[in-house]
Amino acid sequence: MRIWHGFKVSNHLTPCHIWKNNMRAYRVNEFNIAPTIALVDMASPKRGEVAVEIHACGLNFADLLLLSGRYQDTPALPFTPGLELAGVIQAIGPDVDGLAIGDRVAVFSGQGGLAEAGVFPADRVARIPDEMSFVDAAAFQIAYGTGLVALDHCARLQPEETLLVTGAAGGVGLTAVEIGKRMGARVIAHARGAEKLAVAQAAGADHLIDASEDLRQAVKDLGGADVVYDAIGGEVWKAAFRATNPGGRLLPIGFAGGEVPQIPANHLLVKNLSVIGFYFGGYLKSHPLVVRGAIERLIGWYKDGSLRPHVSHVLPLDQTDAALELLRSRKATGKVVITLRA
């Protein structure tokens, strides 16, 4: 190990390998204009930061919102999207404890994942086990972390309760199916088409509802839902809301259908319903110990074979446009991951 400009750097990489202007990144220069792959300057890690050689970056629906400036945490232009990544720590800034150069890690980056390297706050970094591939790790934190914290900490899902998951073959929906089943719930999966429903069934869903069906009636025929985990919004939310049992809890996780639902407060009162907002990035700031505990628990489930991320597409950085289109057109199931290293 050597010291370079005040911070530790790996012996087997020269400083220019990470920080010289030779790192490719997928750059958003203007909103609603196609991003470009460009060479960018890579900053040195400052106090409380680490530099990571990025091997894989998981894509999320939020990345599409970032490209248009509609995400709640959209950074100033220009920027590199990519909310979660996996790689190897190559340098450490001052006042970083518990991490070492060479550690294999997953990072909830918020931005910067679609690049060959980056500098990130150390408190966003989690070690990953040797048996976890970089592709799996890049597909892990947001989808599984959202599912477990939302269902366990927020909604208090109980064994034998009925969980309805909409968009059940998508990145966050599919993990909610897995986690709900792992927690002992009866899981109803809602998705479009036989192929996506089969993916949800393989993840543990007990009942399947195609998007072409009357969602409200189909759920009521199954006894109603105690907890709703909705990633679609719009008319799907309205139908799920009306099919929720008295005393039920609803989680509006996302609005992939494009319409943010309005919630009739009078119906909440009559049926004693609870609508619980949850945003993973926000919880990292307000409840970091809850998130850290959830990630540790999830990694334990991964190690014992209880969880296996479903990644439908793995593409290189120069095919990021095509990868994002898979999300936009809803042709992907589970996660789409971009690889940065061979």
Tens of pLDDT, residue by residue over 309-321, are 999 999 999 999 9
Q: Residue 135: which pLDDT band, with cuts at 50, 70 and 90?
A: very high
For residue 223, pLDDT beyond 60: yes
Query: CA-to-CA distance for 266 and 288, rounded, in angstroms?
Result: 34
What CA–CA distance (Å, rounded) separates 49 from 58?
21
- Evaluate whether 147 touches 179 at the Cβ level (below 8 Å): yes
Architecture of the 142-281 domain:
3-Layer(aba) Sandwich (3.40)
Burial class of 270 by CB neighbour count within 10 A (0 to 12, 13 to 18, 19+) = exposed
**119 closest CA partner among 223, 282, 35, 7:** 7
Predicted TM-score (pTM) of this structure: 0.88
Q: Percentage of residues in the chain with pLDDT exceeding 90? A: 84
Inter-helix orientation angle 61-68/320-328, to 10° = 110
CA distance 251 to 90: 38
- Sign of the CA dihedral with 86 first, then 87, 88, and 89 last: negative
Residue 331 neighbours by CB distance under 10 Å: 12
Please report the pLDDT score of residue 214 as a whole number. Answer: 98
Inform me whether the pLDDT recorded for 204 exceeds 60: yes
What is the pLDDT at residue 255?
A: 86
What ranges do the domains of the chain cover?
A: 2-140+310-339, 142-281
**Could you read off the pLDDT of 241-296 as tens digits, one per residue?**
999 999 999 999 988 887 888 898 999 999 999 999 999 888 988 998 999 899 99
**Residue 51: beta bridge partners?**
91, 119
pLDDT at 4 over 50: no
Could you read off the pLDDT of 147-173 as tens digits, one per residue? Answer: 999 999 999 999 999 999 999 999 999
Give CA–CA dist 102/52, Å, rounded: 9
Query: What residues contact 341, with CB distance under 8 A and at least 6 apart?
Result: 53, 54, 55, 56, 116, 134
Count H helices and E strands in the chain, helices first: 12, 17
% of the chain at pLDDT higher than 70: 94
Q: What is the spatial distance between Cα 248 and Cα 295, in angstroms, rounded to a whole number? A: 26
User: Considering the domain 2-140+310-339 in this protein, what is its CATH number?
Assistant: 3.90.180.10
Inter-CA distances, 320 with 28, 36, 300, Å: 12, 10, 31
Taking the C-alpha atoms of residue 243 and residue 226, their distance in angstroms, rounded to an integer, is: 9
